[in-house]
């Protein structure tokens, strides 16, 4: 028995003894309680003392925990469940974007795009001619009509002299106007950076589209948020999370500013969700794996606050690596096992055939990747890898296999984020290698970005696009991560899609995506509670409602296990509790 398990059991026994001697601080009764425990236990009531759960069970027995000072909530049949654990997001960036000029993730025409950006420019005329305008949440893959092209000319047509930089919501593409490219010194002679691409016209001139690392040419010139700006962004992000029921999150590419900002809020007593942070190891750091891992360990020493406590805190026990880009068109920067298809015919008479491109080379080659993963494991750091294409998934699993052989049995829990397409031969390897697929369920629907791949992928690959159900069937512990702000923070819409694999009726896309069976309502709830807690080594403290665990829980306006699956998107959070304290209550 491990030391941490002995400590937990001692805490459980201690809390249980205390609770038997005096009333609880809070009691929730007369409800439907989804415990998410290993036995799939049902309950009707929960009692809380000192921020921990001291009772989970039947309504008739909870009265013993009610005293004159106990705060009692009669759920009146409503649904109580563990707080949501979001296994992959970018909260500081999300908080910043809440304050930026935004295209709101919407499918729009070029003309609508120009009109909205012009409105932002008109509101800030005092910043002409030299202040950069950053525009966020551009749904590039959903531009209408399908296949429409954008370039710097799209932005050059705006009535401004300012440099304009538009970021795709997916985070892997940006569009710059000519003024921005000039200030960034991106010309015909500029070479593509490692892990990035400058799109060019037939003469070799930059079109304005910049992929992945190439975005840095412009982004490094943008005005930097102040420390105060960052703290306020973190505060706004927490407020949005709590309203959705999120009580724990992983910042899956945490810059120093993010760790510092959430730490500042923790010091002020304003941290209202448990924060886990994964600083990035960039591709160019692969030349010195020892130094790269030492940098992550340095962040951990600076920010990690040790063993979890009732009061929300911060850990730095993960590291982020990007292995490829995105499979979505027009980028097609996900690394694939088989080439993307190309149109050998014309627009009027298409003839889609196998092409030559499998996407860019892996951002990390096999040997340095295995070296980095092994060093991370020996340092007690869990790798969290971005893998979009099946080639990147395969390479990541190969790296993890090499890590396992080099380190032997250790409690390292690698995670592969996105896994939008996985080669069937790799399905079972997730369980074999104890590797967690962290998936954004909201992508598992017919939409511009998924249906737009039909010609590039062909019918067989389209059948297994977004394979959450297939991975679960193969024994993988599937976890949810919103990837906010790649999409709006709408956890309940995402969970609905995870079950139905269908878009909203108003979106204009009919039917289910592919042949994947999807997940059950029980599975999606576990993917965002106990299974996500496991990803973050937090399953002994949170993720389920069990005696001794922290009182992280939410109250819903309806039962997502009983309503029609498509209605899960309409679930509303009525209350969010972290460590026994209410951090959100619906007005």
Q: Are 186 and 217 in contact (CB under 8 A)?
A: yes
Decide which of 212 and 187 is more confident: 187
Q: What is the pLDDT of residues 235-276, one digit of tens each?
A: 999 999 999 999 999 999 999 999 999 999 999 999 999 999
What mean pLDDT, rounded, does the chain reach?
94
Domain match, 11 and 126 both: no
Residue 153 lies in a domain: yes
- Report the candidate in 46, 24, 49 with the shortest Cα–Cα distance to residue 37: 46
Residue 116 lies in a domain: yes
φ, ψ for residue 290 (rounded to 5)? -60, -45
Domain match, 127 and 211 both: yes
pLDDT at 8: 46
- Of 162, 193, 219, which marks where a domain is finished? 219
CATH number, domain at 24?
2.30.40.10
Domain match, 61 and 97 both: no
Q: Are 196 and 186 in contact (CB under 8 A)?
A: no
Domain match, 99 and 215 both: yes
Residue 536 lies in a domain: no
What pLDDT band is residue 1 in, cutting at 50, 70 and 90?
A: very low
User: In the chain, what are the helix, strand and coil shares in percent, each to the nearest 5?
Assistant: 35, 20, 45
Residue 422 lies in a domain: no
Residue 280 lies in a domain: no
Site of tokens 């979505």? 328
Q: How many Å from the N-terminal Cα to the C-terminal Cα in the chain?
A: 46
pTM of the model: 0.87
Domain match, 139 and 195 both: yes
Domain match, 204 and 97 both: yes
Residue 41 lies in a domain: yes
Domain match, 13 and 105 both: no
pLDDT at 468: 98
Domain match, 128 and 56 both: no
As a whole number, mean pLDDT of residues 94-100 equals 90
pLDDT at 10: 41
Domain match, 117 and 200 both: yes
Domain match, 174 and 59 both: no
Indicate whether 376 pLDDT > 60. yes
Q: What is the pLDDT of residues 131-156, one digit of tens each?
A: 999 999 898 878 888 789 999 999 99
Q: In terms of residue numbers, what domain contains 112?
A: 93-219
Q: Among residues of the chain, what percentage have pLDDT more than 90?
A: 88
Classify strands 382-387 and 415-418 as parallel, antiparallel or unpaired. Answer: parallel
- Of 176, 192, 219, which marks where a domain is finished? 219
Domain match, 97 and 215 both: yes
Residue 115 lies in a domain: yes
CATH number, domain at 176?
3.10.310.70
Residue 78 and residue 204: Cα distance in Å, rounded?
Answer: 61
Residue 23 lies in a domain: yes
Decide which of 472 and 21 is more confident: 472
pLDDT at 175: 98
- Of 219, 245, 264, which marks where a domain is finished? 219
Q: What is the pLDDT of residues 546-575, one digit of tens each?
A: 999 999 999 999 999 999 999 999 999 999
Domain count, the chain: 2
Domain match, 206 and 135 both: yes
């Amino acid at each position: 028995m491990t030391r941490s398990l002995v400590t937990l059991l001692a805490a459980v026994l201690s809390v249980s003894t205390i609770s038997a001697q005096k009333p609880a601080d809070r009691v929730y009764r007369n409800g439907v309680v989804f415990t998410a425990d290993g036995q799939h236990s049902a309950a009707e009531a929960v009692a809380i003392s000192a921020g921990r759960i001291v009772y989970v069970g039947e309504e008739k027995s909870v009265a013993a925990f009610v005293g004159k000072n106990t705060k009692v909530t009669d759920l009146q049949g409503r649904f109580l469940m563990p707080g949501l654990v979001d296994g992959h997001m970018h909260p500081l960036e999300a908080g910043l974007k809440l304050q930026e000029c935004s295209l709101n993730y919407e499918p729009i025409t070029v003309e609508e795009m120009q009109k909205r950006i012009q409105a932002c420019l008109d509101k800030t005329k005092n910043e002409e001619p030299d202040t950069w305008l950053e525009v966020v949440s551009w749904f590039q893959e959903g531009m209408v009509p399908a296949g429409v092209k954008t370039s710097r000319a799209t932005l050059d047509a705006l009535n401004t002299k300012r440099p304009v930089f538009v970021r795709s919501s997916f985070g892997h593409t940006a569009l710059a106007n000519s003024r921005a490219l000039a200030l960034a010194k991106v010309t015909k002679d500029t070479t593509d950076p490692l892990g990035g691409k400058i799109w060019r016209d037939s003469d070799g001139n930059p079109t304005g589209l910049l992929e992945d690392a190439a975005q840095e040419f412009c982004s490094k010139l943008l005005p930097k948020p102040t420390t105060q700006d960052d703290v306020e962004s973190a505060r706004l992000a927490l407020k949005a999370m709590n309203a959705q029921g999120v009580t724990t999150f992983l910042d899956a590419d945490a810059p120093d500013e993010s760790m510092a900002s959430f730490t500042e809020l923790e010091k002020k007593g304003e941290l209202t969700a448990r924060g886990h942070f994964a600083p990035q190891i960039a591709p160019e750091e692969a030349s010195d794996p020892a130094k790269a891992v030492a940098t992550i360990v340095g962040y951990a020493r600076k920010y990690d606050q040790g063993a979890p406590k009732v009061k929300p805190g911060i850990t730095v026990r993960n590291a982020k690596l990007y292995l490829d880009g995105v499979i979505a068109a027009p980028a097609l920067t996900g690394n694939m096992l088989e080439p993307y298809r190309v149109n050998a015919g014309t627009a009027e008479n298409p003839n889609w055939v196998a092409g030559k491109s499998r996407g860019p080379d892996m951002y990390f080659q096999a040997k340095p990747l295995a070296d980095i993963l092994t060093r991370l494991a020996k340092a007690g750091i869990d790798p969290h890898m971005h893998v979009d294409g099946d080639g990147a998934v395969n390479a990541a699993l190969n790296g993890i296999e090499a890590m396992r052989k080099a380190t032997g049995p250790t409690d390292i829990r690698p995670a592969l984020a996105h896994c939008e397409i996985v080669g069937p031969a790799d399905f079972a390897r997730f369980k074999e290698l104890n590797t967690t697929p962290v998936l954004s369920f909201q992508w598992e629907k017919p939409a511009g970005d998924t249906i737009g791949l039909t010609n590039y992928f062909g019918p067989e690959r389209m059948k297994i696009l977004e394979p959450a159900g297939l991975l679960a069937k193969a024994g993988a512990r599937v976890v949810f991560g919103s990837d906010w702000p790649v999409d709006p923070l709408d956890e309940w819409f995402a969970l609905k899609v995870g079950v139905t694999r269908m878009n909203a009726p108003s979106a204009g896309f009919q039917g289910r995506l592919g042949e994947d069976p999807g997940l059950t309502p029980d599975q999606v709830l576990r993917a965002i509670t106990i299974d996500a807690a496991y990803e973050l080594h937090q399953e002994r403290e949170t993720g389920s409602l069990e005696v001794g665990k922290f009182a992280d829980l939410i109250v819903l306006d309806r039962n997502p296990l009983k309503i029609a699956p498509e209605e899960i998107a309409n679930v509303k959070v009525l209350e969010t509790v972290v460590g026994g304290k209410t951090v959100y209550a619906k007005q």
